[in-house]
Structure 1
Amino acid sequence: MINADNTSNICFIKSRSNVTLVFGIFSIITSFVSLGFFLGIIGLIYGFIDLLTIKQKQSGKKKIAAGIICCLLGIIFTVISSISYVNMFKMEPF
């Protein structure tokens, strides 16, 4: 028997996993303007909180894991693009 608290908890976890995935995708997209670092950190925080609150057999774990991976990729891309921008505009003395 499914009670109302259980279904509302499942819907809450699914919506939170969507938030993690959206932050991860936006962190990859905006990694070239250095906004991806902050979006990735926020998505990682949401993702790890969701992993701690989710139960073993609840759905949404794969979406949370995908969001965490996207957040990590967004952070890595932001760091790489920031380093390449600094090296690109570095002035060499003649």
Structure 2
Amino acid sequence: MANTTHTTIYPGSRAAALAFCVGSVCKEADSVLSRAAWTDTKHLIWFTGHMGSDAHPLIPNGNELAHSQARDLTRRVRREGGPRPKGEKWLRNQLQTCNGI
């Protein structure tokens, strides 16, 4: 996102943020960044992708939305314990993170 006084980049990946800080970015990111209208002041703000669906009152958390929809597609229980559609087989175990395995 950019305004007239500074440019702020919000990467959802810690690895991407660290790579950007040392000048190492992938081809796709370089293409986007090279077309950006930069200002003199640049801010890089990393945030963890799983901050909850209500991390900001006005902006939906796209990562949490994608995670929830992926759970629905794999027929696994939702972290929030939401209702399950009737007539469909659901697995009882939750999806695990890399740290949870």
TM-score by length of 1: 0.28
Larger strand fraction of residues: 2
Pick the structure with more helix per residue: 1
Higher RCO, 1 vs 2 (CA within 8 Å, ≥6 residues apart): 1
TM-score by length of 2: 0.27
